Amino acid sequence: MQVPQHIAIIMDGNGRWARARRRRRLEGHRAGLKAIRRVLKACDELGVSVLSLYAFSTENWTRPRTEVDGLMRLFAQTLDREIDELNREGVQLRITGRRDGLSPALLRKIESSEELTRHNQDRVLNLLINYGGRAEIVDAVKKLIAAGVDPAKLGDEHITGALYNPDLPEPDLVIRTAGEQRISNFLIWETAYSEFHFTETLWPDFDKADLVEAIAAFNARERKFGGLNDEPTDAAAGR
Ligand code: IPE
Ligand code: IPE
Ligand code: MG
């Protein structure tokens, strides 16, 4: 079985998980953060080296203030609680997204967590907070304009190089939980040739078996990147 080097997950369904249990939405988010531990462990066991997780979009600010505040508090608490263990496990943590709008306290934790784990090389946990694919492309274009790139010479590689994580491989596999089949502004540039897998499982219930199922589905795909894989040419086939 071929294991994807980079798996990216749109962690959806925390609210529905809570509603099904007659609990508050924030409890769904808390359960969702716990699922991250489980999935990170499964990635380690399976040999996935980069895991990108969509935790908060640039559009999620439109949710009720109590939910947004609660989520930000949960992010800060979780960083505090987990960062030493993540570091011991050799995980490099990255928090990807726009920094403006995040509280100074959360920003300090993000910076110290990234600093602490910067030297870990084997595995990357990339958490996307206040992230939007369009915002990322806008930020990249701004950087390029500021650097004075000649529009006549502008190519894909300039945009790719100006994104938030130019050194990470593009996702091989994107998983979205909770039955929705849309991208919701997630890594829209980087997923140009990613494989997609959708599952009905709600994110707080997602476990190693779900991950293995997604990887098996990935293995059944034929990636072609616009080309032809080992097909005989028409001439060789006598056509
Ligand atoms: C995903 O769960 C987490 C975030 C977007 C922050 P949701 O909160 O979107 O869960 P549903 O879609 O309401 O079930
Ligand atoms: C996408 O989920 C964002 C995250 C998982 C962080 P949403 O629940 O916000 O997406 P929509 O609104 O259903 O498209
Ligand atoms: Mg949702």
User: In what helix (H) or strand (E) does residue 209 lie, and over which residues does it extend?
Assistant: helix 208-219
pLDDT of residue 99: 98
- Start-to-end CA distance of the chain, whole Å, equals 35
Q: Is the CB of 198 under 6 A from ligand 2?
A: no
Instruction: Quote the pLDDT of residue 202.
Output: 99
- For residue 59, give the ligand 2 atom closest to its CA: 9
Residue 123, pLDDT score: 98
Active site residues: 12, 60
Query: Which atom of ligand 2 sits closest to the CA of residue 60?
Result: 9
Q: What are phi and psi of 64, to 5 degrees?
A: -55, 145
Which pLDDT score, from 0 to 100, does residue 198 have?
A: 98
For residue 14, report the distance from its CA to the centre of ligand 1, in Å: 5
* Ligand with smallest separation from the Cα of 52: 2
Q: What does the alpha-carbon distance between residue 13 and residue 15 come to, in Å, rounded to a whole number?
A: 5
Query: Is the minimum distance from the CB of 185 to ligand 2 under 6 angstroms?
Result: no
Structure confidence at residue 221 (pLDDT): 97
Which pLDDT does position 236 carry in this prediction?
85
Torsion (CA) 218, 223, 229, 231 in degrees, nearest 10:
70
Beta strands in the chain (DSSP E): 6-10, 50-57, 91-96, 123-131, 173-176, 195-198
Q: Which of 9, 11, 12, 57 to mutate to test the pocket of ligand 1 (most atoms within 8 A of CB)?
A: 12
How far does the centroid of ligand 3 lie from the alpha carbon of residue 9, in Å? Answer: 13
The protein residue whose alpha carbon is closest to atom 2 in ligand 2 is 12
As a whole number of angstroms, the distance between CA 124 and CA 117 comes to: 10
What is the per-residue pLDDT for 184?
A: 98
Radius of gyration of the chain (CA): 19
Edge-to-edge, what's the strand order for the sheet holding 123-131?
A: 91-96, 123-131, 50-57, 6-10, 173-176, 195-198
Residue nearest to atom 3 of ligand 2 (CA): 57
User: 223: CA distance to ligand 3 center in Å?
Assistant: 29
Q: Could you tell me the pTM of the whole model?
A: 0.97
Q: Determine the Cα–Cα distance for residues 223 and 186; give it in Å rounded to an integer.
A: 21
Asked if 7 and 191 count as a contact pair (C-beta separation under 8 A), the reply is: no
Per-position pLDDT tens, the chain of length 239: 899 999 999 999 999 999 999 999 999 999 999 999 999 999 999 999 999 999 999 999 999 999 999 999 999 999 999 999 999 999 999 999 999 999 999 999 999 999 999 999 999 999 999 999 999 999 999 999 999 999 999 999 999 999 999 999 999 999 999 999 999 999 999 999 999 999 999 999 999 999 999 999 999 999 999 999 988 888 888 88
* Per-state percent for the chain, helix, strand, coil, to nearest 5: 45, 15, 40
Ligand 2 contacts CB of residue 194 (under 6 A): no
Give the 3-state secondary structure of residue 94.
strand
